[in-house]
Amino acid sequence: FDRMLNALDLASRIPAVDNWPPYDIVKTGEDDYRIDMAVAGLAEADLTITQERNTLVVTGRKVQEPQSAAEYLHRGIAGREFERRFDLAE
């Protein structure tokens, strides 16, 4: 777990070209961690979480919404697609 924490810490220090969506990594116990992500504009059904070897992959893809009767005067919530990868310890 120390290697995982070091890798996560290193990843947070390297400036990323695309830093959306923002996220927090929280240590909740001796060997327990939680990743909180702010994915405004996406529903739970729009998110996919998978593990590929030692990498946790969180993907967000907006499902096409049916036409709504609502008339938006301004749409400021992005809801854009993303893929965020986190390296995990062996």
Number of C-beta neighbours around residue 39 at 10 A: 20
Residue type, 26: V
Q: Are 50 and 16 in contact (CB under 8 A)?
A: no
Q: Between the CA of residue 70 and those of 41, 45, 67, 73, 80, what are the distances in Å?
A: 16, 21, 9, 10, 20
Domain ranges for the chain: 2-87
Question: At which residue do the structure tokens 């924490």 appear?
Answer: 5
The answer, yes or no, to whether residue 81 has pLDDT greater than 80, is yes
The answer, yes or no, to whether residue 76 has pLDDT greater than 60, is yes
CATH tag for 2-87 (out of 2.60.40.790, 2.60.120.20, 1.10.3720.10, 3.20.20.80): 2.60.40.790
The answer, yes or no, to whether residue 87 has pLDDT greater than 80, is yes
Confidence at residue 30, expressed as pLDDT on a 0 to 100 scale: 87
Residue-wise pLDDT tens digits, 26-74: 999 988 889 999 998 888 999 999 998 889 999 999 877 677 777 878 8
Which band of pLDDT confidence, cut at 50, 70 and 90, is reported for residue 18? low
